[in-house]
Structure formats: structure tokens, C-alpha cells
Amino acid sequence: MTAVVPALRAGVGRGLIELRQAFTGMELVGQLLWPVATLAAVTFLRDVAIGGSGATLGTMILPGALGMFVALGMLLVVQQLAADREDGTLLRAKATPNGIRAYLVGKLVQISATILAYLAIILIPGVFLVEGLEIADPSSWITFAWVLALGLVATQAIGVLLGSMIATPRGAGYLSLPILGLIAISGIFAPITGLPEWLQWIAQVFPIYWLGLGMRASFLPDDAVVVEIGESWRQLETAAVLGAWAIVGLVLAPMVLRRMTRRESGSRVAERREQALRRVG
């Protein structure tokens, strides 16, 4: 306990510093680009009808967009972990007491806060622009809160596990392709009932499907459930799967990250930096 508290305090402080740096100067433009573009797309499509059901495309897309940005936290962790490994940040963290634990906490704080900012940019205007959302019922916001909390932990913990296997930002770029493919088959924007059954089973193994389902359960009307698997929001299953991935990730992520940093050395960092300079040159 005496080691955990200082690590948590240092990690939170580190995460807040990185968050401030990420939303300052020209970095702010890059941070705002995708959520603002997504909000513009939702606004443009908000009145497009879906078949003869009376539902609109904007109503379906908005919860999916929220789930997508939470799921992309996995990719952000992989990218930042690879960059920090290449420039020696992880090696410096290894050399300080409780440094790896503080690094992990800081990364989760910074990325979670970044994702919350993205969601606020989309959700706050979205509830006024898009009709048909269930926003007056307090249970909708309660569901949104626990799905968001479990989704943040589950996806980012998986990101740490995947990122620990990648040594360079180029490798992170290659890894992003299967991650985006998994998001594509997970029905983040719409139910997966139209996909082949074997793809449905694959999607349901991972937390991204349950994240999208939970977001739709939060804000879509009850009659929208008829197009879901089993015509149910399956909230107990959603909590169980997201919770299981979150627990497994929280247990394994520090162990895997610590094991990976044991193999780090100044010579390896220098070698990767030299390779990166050759690629730029």
C-alpha cells in the first residue's frame, strides 16, 4: 500500500501534465479534428430516414460514434506506448521507484481524459441536434456511465497488452489495421445481425461489440432493440464481458509492461532512434 499510493499520485500528476500538453498550441488542432468532423457528419445525416421505420441515421450513428471513440482508446495506447518505448521514456520510467506503475496510471489518466473530451464535443451538441434519443430518462445516463467506465478500462488495458509487443511506431501502424478491422466487424455503429454467424461470434468475444451495444442501450428507444441479437440489450452480459476484460487487463497489463521494460536498455533505445533517423533521412 505504501508503494501504491505514491505511484497513483505521481501517475495522476503525470497524466494531467500530458493532457495539458496534448491540448495546447498546435496539438489542439489535431485533437479537435476528428471529434468535430464526426459531429459534422452526425449533423449532416441527422434527418436521413432509415427505411420506413421512422428512425433517422443520425439517431443510430451518435451512440455508435461515442462507442467508437472509446474503442479507439485501445489504438491510442498502442501508439503512445510504441513512441515512448522508442524515445526512451519507458526506460527512464523503469529507472525510478514505482516508475512503471506511475507511467501506466498516467497513461490511462491522460487517454481517458482525452476520450472524455472527445465524447463531450460530440454528445453535448448532439443531444440538441439529433432527435429520437432517450435523454430524459435518468437510467439512460446511468447505463451510459457504467458502460463508459468499463469500456475505458477494458479497451485501454488491451491496448497496453498489444502495445507491449510493438517496438516502434511503424509497428503500431501495422497493428492498427487489425484493430480497425475488429472495430468494423463489431457492429459499433449498427447491430451485427446482418453479418455471417461466425463473424458475430468473433465480435462477441471482444469488448468492442459490447461497448457499441451498451451505448445503443443507453440512448436508443426501446423499440430499437428488435434488430439486436435475441431482441435484447443484454445489459447483464454487457457488464460481465466488459468487466471481465477490464479485470484481466488490469491484472496482466502491469505484469506485461514490467516484463517488457526489463528487456529495455540504453543501447536498444539508441539503436531504435538511429533506425528512426535513417527512415526520416
State how far the Cα of 277 lies from the Cα of 281, in Å rounded to an integer: 6
In the prediction, which pLDDT does 265 show?
A: 61
Q: Render pLDDT for 4-25 as a digit per residue (tens, 0 to 9).
A: 777 788 888 888 998 888 888 7
Instruction: Please provide the DSSP assignment of 29-84 as one string.
Output: HHHHHHHHHHHHHHHHHTT-B-TTSS-BHHHHHHHHHHHHHHHTHHHHHHHHHHHH
Q: Give the model's pLDDT for residue 21.
A: 87
Highest mean pLDDT among 142-151, 155-164, 173-182: 142-151
- Give the whole-angstrom CA distance, residue 200 versus residue 214: 16
Res. 192 pLDDT band, cuts 50 70 90: confident
Domain coordinates of the chain in residue numbers? 3-266
The average confidence (pLDDT) of the chain is 83
How does residue 240 score in pLDDT terms, banded at 50, 70 and 90? very high
> For residue 154, which amino acid is it?
A
pLDDT for res 148: 95
The percent of residues in the chain predicted with pLDDT above 70, rounded, is: 90
Instruction: Provide mean pLDDT across the span 68-78.
Output: 90
- Vertex 260: Cα angle to 210 and 76 (nearest 5): 40
Q: What pLDDT shows up at residue 26?
A: 80
> How many Cα atoms within 13 Å fall on the side-chain side of residue 175?
25
Predicted local distance difference test score (pLDDT) of residue 123? 92
Are 185 and 199 in contact by the 8 Å Cβ rule? The answer is: yes
pTM, full prediction = 0.88
Query: Is 58's pLDDT higher than 70?
Result: yes
For 49, list phi and psi in degrees, rounded to 5.
Answer: -75, 150
Q: Is pLDDT at 252 greater than 80 in this prediction?
A: yes
Contact by Cβ (8 Å): 31, 23:
yes
Residue 272 CA, chain-centre distance (Å), reads 27
The dihedrals phi and psi of 263, each to the nearest 5 degrees, come to -85, -5
Query: Rounded mean pLDDT of 131-154?
Result: 91
pLDDT of residue 133 exceeding 80: yes
Q: How many CB atoms lie within 10 A of CB 236?
A: 9
Residue 154: the pLDDT is 92
Contacts of the segment 270-275: beta carbons below 8 A, 24+ positions apart: 272/85, 272/86, 272/167, 272/168, 273/86, 273/87, 273/88, 275/168
pLDDT at residue number 115 = 94
**Distance of alpha carbon 64 from alpha carbon 217, whole angstroms:** 11
Task: With beta carbons less than 8 A apart as the criterion, state whether 120 and 32 touch.
Answer: no
Query: Cβ-count burial of 39 within 10 angstroms (0-12 exposed, 13-18 middle, 19+ buried)?
Result: buried
Give the range among 37-51, 53-67, 132-146, 254-268 with minimum mean pLDDT: 254-268
